[in-house]
Amino acid sequence: MFKKKLLVLSSPSGGGKSTLANYLMTLYPEIRFSVSCTTRKIREGEVNGKDYFFLSKEEFEEKVGKGEFAEYEQIFGNYYGTLKSEIKKHLNSGNSILFDVDVKGAVSLRNNFPEDTLLIFIYPPSFEELKRRLEKRSTESVEELNIRLERAKEELTYKDKFDHSILNDVLQEAFSDLEGVIKDNIE
């Protein structure tokens, strides 16, 4: 159905990639969501195997040593990564896969699967709005929030490395823009 089977949404924390990913999944239920691995603590409402595969640091590092990740990154003191086996499982069954990853992970996915990857960058209307969104989430300590904001400054510079970029200011407009990008990727 899709020309490129790996659909990658990326943004700084608070940019809205998860909201847009969930919207896309309602439009195209045949898309499979890529479940990443992480060593961070599980948050309230998250489900192991659905939101993430929650691993210990030792388990994650063992998988890194065995070359099992298509991409991985240490962010905010925790590891995040996508198992090659998960990607291959979906591709072998003919599914398209939706990724919700950081910018470096997105670039790594393209490097590993250059012909199959569509990169979509989601960005906020301003840095101040991004900060407001993160503060409203209340999922990090002040120190963690400041680290995320510092990282966001770097991540925003990756915008030009993506096939498409979508401003997430007015949510309905962002939904419409995302839908347009995906429709252009349909065979």
- pLDDT tens-digit series, residues 64-88: 999 999 999 888 789 999 999 999 8
Span 140-160, average pLDDT: 88
Residue 25 is assigned to a structural domain of this protein = yes
Handedness of CA 111, 112, 118, 122 (dihedral sign): negative
Inside any domain, residue 1: no
> What's the confidence (pLDDT) of residue 38?
96
Q: Is the pLDDT of residue 60 over 90?
A: yes
66: enclosing H helix or E strand = none
Q: Over the stretch 13-45, which tens digit does the pLDDT of each residue have?
A: 889 898 999 999 999 988 999 999 999 999 889
Q: What pLDDT is attached to residue 148?
A: 84
**Which CATH number does the domain housing residue 73 bear?**
3.40.50.300
Task: Classify residue 93: in a domain, yes or no.
Answer: yes
Residue 146 has pLDDT above 80, yes or no: yes
Q: Is residue 171 part of a domain?
A: yes
* 157 membership: H or E segment, kind and range: none
User: How many domains does the structure of the chain reveal?
Assistant: 1
Assess if residue 34 is contained within a domain.
yes
Give the three-state DSSP class for 169: coil
Cα 105 from Cα 103, distance rounded (Å) = 5
Q: What digits encode the pLDDT tens for the residues 101-122?
A: 889 899 999 998 999 999 999 9
Look up residue 186 and give its DSSP letter.
B
- Contacts (Cβ under 8 Å, ≥6 apart) of 65: none
| CA dist 30 → 5, 34, 81, 95, 175 (Å) | 12, 13, 23, 7, 18
Counting residues of the chain whose pLDDT is more than 90, the rounded percentage is 68
Can you give the residue range of the structural domain that contains 81?
6-184
In a domain, 11, yes or no: yes
Tokens of 53: 């595969």
pLDDT tops 90 at residue 3: yes
Distance CA 29, CA 138 (A): 30
Residue 88 lies in a domain: yes
pTM value? 0.87
Q: Is residue 18 part of a domain?
A: yes
